[in-house]
């Protein structure tokens, strides 16, 4: 849980891009 929190608090560019892509996919295909 701690590592996940740290990743959310300090996401790398790659992690952020992947996160955004997942959201966009969810919006397109709910």
**In the prediction, which pLDDT does 17 show?**
81
Q: For the chain, what is the domain count?
A: 1
Q: What is the CA radius of gyration of the chain?
A: 11
**Alpha-carbon distance 16 to 23, whole Å?**
11
Domain housing 22? 1-30
pLDDT in tens, the chain (30 residues): 566 666 666 667 677 788 888 889 888 876
**Alpha-carbon distance 18 to 30, whole Å?**
17
What pTM does this model have?
0.43
């Amino acid at each position: 849980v701690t590592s996940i929190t740290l990743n959310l608090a300090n996401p790398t560019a790659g992690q952020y891009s992947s996160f955004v892509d997942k959201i966009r996919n969810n919006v397109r295909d709910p």
